[in-house]
């Protein structure tokens, strides 16, 4: 079953106008989209993006409203879409749920979960890029260690990378999720509550899908996309994402913090581009009881200053 994390809070943060134009940049299985459409009149409009073909097909078969459209593309392409359709600066709200959708995690064939036997793929759009199994083959020890360390904050990155390359150099295969999970377990053992493969699987997924680069691109375009007083509501699920989101929001509200000499006379010329709607919100106990995957979710929301 798919649960939309922080559903009410993220939608409320947008202060939806019934005749407004909104973007759900991460359709998934449409939980947030469904809630947004309930708040829109026939004059309102909702545009959803997803790079997963399964999600796009689901949207086309389950959401037939005239004021809804689904775009098979990553959310980093929002600006290009708005530019082509004369919508730059006219979007009243953008919602981004940065988590992997439950169907992606639950369907073994997608290769996102180390707890299910499946091909080591991890691509959100299987028609683009290379699968995780190819990354393990084509990257050397240093490159793999950098991926595990940078995107998974894995302190045993070098040891795991060396174990992977030795395994492959010995002529053994590494094409399934459980093969990789077992190899990581064998190389470092179970040293904490989490499965030892957790961080490496996160790292590979982020790298394969270029998730942080996609996020940075979308955020960089947001001021051009949003209308005056347009709102941005973002749910992140790990510190790497949230750090980028927070830095973007704080930077456009308070300005960049620069290390300048003391007592230097400065004229403050910075003008805030956003204001806070929600600095930080997390799932309450009721939601945690219903969906344990919401435990790491963080919601932040801002409004563009006219």
190 three-state secondary structure: coil
Q: Write the pLDDT tens digit of every residue in 166-180.
A: 999 999 999 999 999
Categorize the per-residue pLDDT at 84 as very low, low, confident or very high, splitting at 50, 70 and 90. Answer: very high
Dihedral sign (CA 156, 157, 162, 164): positive
Q: Write the pLDDT tens digit of every residue in 206-224.
A: 999 999 999 999 999 999 9
Q: Write the pLDDT tens digit of every residue in 227-269.
A: 999 999 999 999 999 999 999 999 999 987 556 666 666 666 8
Place of tokens 């759900």: 24
Kindly report which listed range (153-162, 252-261, 288-297) carries the lowest average pLDDT score.
252-261
272 three-state secondary structure: coil
CA distance 163 to 290: 38
pLDDT at 266: 62
- pLDDT, the chain, mean: 93
Please state the three-class secondary structure of 93-156 as a single string: EEEEECCCCHHHHHCHHHCCCCCCCCECCCCCCCCCCCCHHHHHHHCCHHHHHHHHHHHHCCCC
Categorize the per-residue pLDDT at 108 as very low, low, confident or very high, splitting at 50, 70 and 90. Answer: confident
Which two structure tokens, joined as six digits, stand for 210? 């270029």
pLDDT at 258: 59
CA distance 142 to 144: 6
- CA angle (215, 216, 221) in 5-degree steps: 100
Other C-beta atoms within 10 Å of 222: how many? 23
- CA distances 123 to 130, 179, 295, Å, are 7, 18, 24
pLDDT at 112: 82
User: What's the gap between Cα 284 and its chain centre?
Assistant: 21
Kindly report which listed range (16-25, 188-197, 242-251, 258-267) carries the lowest average pLDDT score.
258-267
Please state the three-class secondary structure of 27-68 as a single string: CCCCHHHHHHHHHCCCCCEEEEEECCHHHHHHHHHHCCCCCE
Q: Write the pLDDT tens digit of every residue in 123-136.
A: 999 999 999 999 99
Q: How far apart are the first and last CA of the chain?
A: 40
Which two structure tokens, joined as six digits, stand for 277? 């709607």
Please answer whether residues 245 and 236 qualify as being in contact, where contact means their C-beta atoms are separated by less than 8 angstroms: yes
265 three-state secondary structure: coil
Mean pLDDT calculated for residue range 273-288: 94
pLDDT at 261: 65
Decide if pLDDT at 160 tops 80.
Answer: yes
- Identify which of 61, 59, 54 has the alpha carbon closest to the alpha carbon of residue 24: 59
Decide if pLDDT at 2 tops 90.
Answer: no
Place of tokens 């790990």: 238
Beta bridge partners of 33: none
Which two structure tokens, joined as six digits, stand for 93? 């709200």
CA distance 198 to 1: 22
């Amino acid at each position: 079953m798919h649960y939309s994390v922080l559903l009410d809070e993220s939608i409320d943060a947008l202060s939806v106008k019934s005749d407004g134009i909104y973007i759900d940049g991460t359709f998934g299985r449409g939980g947030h989209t469904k809630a947004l459409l309930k708040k829109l009149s026939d004059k309102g409009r909702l545009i959803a993006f997803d790079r997963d073909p399964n999600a796009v097909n689901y949207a086309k078969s389950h959401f037939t409203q005239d004021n809804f459209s689904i775009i098979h593309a990553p959310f980093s392409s929002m600006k290009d879409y708005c530019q082509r359709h004369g919508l730059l600066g006219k979007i009243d709200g953008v919602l981004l749920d940065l988590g992997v959708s439950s169907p992606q995690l639950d369907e073994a064939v997608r290769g996102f979960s180390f707890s299910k036997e499946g091909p080591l793929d991890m691509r959100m759009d299987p028609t683009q890029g290379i699968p995780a199994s190819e990354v393990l083959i084509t990257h050397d020890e240093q490159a793999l260690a950098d991926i595990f360390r940078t995107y998974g904050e894995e302190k045993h990155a070098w040891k795991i990378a060396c174990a992977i390359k030795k395994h492959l150099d010995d002529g053994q295969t590494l094409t399934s999720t459980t093969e990789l999970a077992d190899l990581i377990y064998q190389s470092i053992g179970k040293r904490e509550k989490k499965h030892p493969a957790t961080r490496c699987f996160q790292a590979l997924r982020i790298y394969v899908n270029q998730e942080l680069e996609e996020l940075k691109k979308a955020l960089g375009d947001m001021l051009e996309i949003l209308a005056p007083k347009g709102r941005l509501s973002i749910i992140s699920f790990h510190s790497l994402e949230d750090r980028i989101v927070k830095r973007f929001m704080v930077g456009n509200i308070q300005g960049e913090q620069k290390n300048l000499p003391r007592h230097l006379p400065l004229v403050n010329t910075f003008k805030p581009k956003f204001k806070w709607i929600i600095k930080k919100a997390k799932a309450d106990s009721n939601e945690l009881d219903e969906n344990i995957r919401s435990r790491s979710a963080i919601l932040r929301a801002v409004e563009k200053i006219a």
